[in-house]
Structure 1
């Protein structure tokens, strides 16, 4: 089991003036203790379950560019981009740009979006669920097409592109790491089986069942289940201990997950997160 650092809460000591230096140090420290994956949320406001909407939230791709400049080896991506937040071609171009500038270390995490409050607040369209999933599949197909040498048009139900030119092309081959987040059994996990390099499933009591569903979708589409990177995600807070992290991560490993993205909520000193990771990593299965 591998621990990945998912940065979801930027409400750290020192406030906005200290946030840049603190984030740079945080990701450097993470790499120094052996963390090989770093991700950020793609939200405009803080989400419920982590903190009040009014607390600090950085725009994801600007933050990834900053993190890329302060790291050397870690895989970087969002966990996950809401499909309604960006036009597909711009999203593919942004990921490609970061992939090139970071030496092939940047991938795409994507999902169907869920936070209608921030979309309503900032004027982003938030279509019904069925349409968001249609847009998600088309966006994935557009990104995958743009990550090839094809310049053919794309004509979908929701998106029409006249020429899918993408230059420079990503350094990662055959394409940047592609994660689809979520655990919906009928749509999300079917898309994982058909298109993705990785899934991300919450580590709840039904996590094992979700993996069984993914396996069934792989059988249906003729995909090798073992090719897919099975990742999970869980939360720590000021009361969390090293034992808590080790117990949760190892229990997820026993179900078949290979990586756990761990995010902190309410921990105002990033060094506390690094210390917990540093003590937990040697004890993982």
Structure 2
């Protein structure tokens, strides 16, 4: 498994009838596949995240959507970035991702994280608990899910989860990849060092060197060769052949989140745009190279929150970023 270039879809607000929503999702993933993206990811939420849109904007259930995408594509890897561990008990999540793997002919990725969106938990009736609770649960879940994906039948009696010789069939392979996503230098990165094939880091770009040092440290603590853990970075792209149009997309997107770039200080501007890469293809490529790839990550997962649904934009992003990560 390798994910040097991934495409995430965090925003399904296309100002179109609901009947046209999923065909637009399929079109984006097919375009990503044609453009040489290694993987495509759906978010695993019930409400839209506030940093992307309003809570009642369209959000699809991740594994139902991924199953449909499996039949609409041929070679691109598919997963959630990332599955909220609190939304499914561990054997059910193992079953979901294994079924996706069978349906896609061996293209599933298990993306998983501890969960963070408190409002979803509250309004859907899921226990949220403390940060410590959620990471304890994720640790236990991975001790169950990992052997189930490898063809074992685990028995586990933990604080949060209990399984007895849990069977997970059918499976198409014993090496279905596990991806952890997040930014926690102690908890998330330690779990990635223990269980994951891939770590996708979510953080402000300026923090990336420190995060990568922490990944190195967590691997060293358990004696893992750091080179065996692939690491990517999640980037927000605002790209257009015309750089001024790209900058307008970024300004309009941030205005929708209550931030006016024309009035904020230089310090505030740097903070709110630190995960964003904006401009024409040459500008975006230069920003990604100097601000991300030169820091030492293996790959990049991009989203196109402003215009990814427009035909040709995913292809443009792939044409811009793929040469940087794949040579």
Bin the TM-score by the shorter chain.
over 0.9
Paired position in structure 2 for 1:187: 187
Match of residue 92, structure 1, among 78, 91, 94: 94
Paired position in structure 1 for 2:67: 65
Count of residues in correspondence between the two structures: 283
Paired position in structure 1 for 2:197: 197
| Distance in 2 separating the partners of 1:211 and 1:14 | 40
2:24–2:309 Cα contact (<8 Å) kept: no
Closer, same or farther: CA 190–152 of 1 in aligned 2, 3 Å: closer
1:145–1:164 Cα contact (<8 Å) kept: no
Closer, same or farther: CA 149–262 of 1 in aligned 2, 3 Å: closer
| Distance in 2 separating the partners of 1:245 and 1:67 | 28
SS at match of 1:284: helix
2:4–2:232 Cα contact (<8 Å) kept: no
| Distance in 2 separating the partners of 1:212 and 1:132 | 24
2:5–2:301 Cα contact (<8 Å) kept: yes
1:256 and 2:296 correspond: yes
| Distance in 1 separating the partners of 2:154 and 2:123 | 36
Q: Structure 1 length normalisation: TM-score? A: 0.93
2:5–2:322 Cα contact (<8 Å) kept: no
Paired position in structure 2 for 1:234: 235
Match of residue 76, structure 1, among 69, 75, 78: 78
Deviation per residue, 1:43-77 (Å, 9 max, x gap): 11100111111111111111111111111111111
1:246–1:283 Cα contact (<8 Å) kept: no
Task: List alignment gaps of at least 5 residues for structure 1.
Answer: none
Q: Structure 2 length normalisation: TM-score? A: 0.82
Match of residue 245, structure 1, among 284, 296, 303: 284
1:112–1:133 Cα contact (<8 Å) kept: yes
| Distance in 2 separating the partners of 1:73 and 1:100 | 13
Extract structure 1 runs of 4+ deviating beyond 4 A: none
Paired position in structure 2 for 1:225: 226
Closer, same or farther: CA 161–283 of 1 in aligned 2, 3 Å: closer
Paired position in structure 1 for 2:140: 138
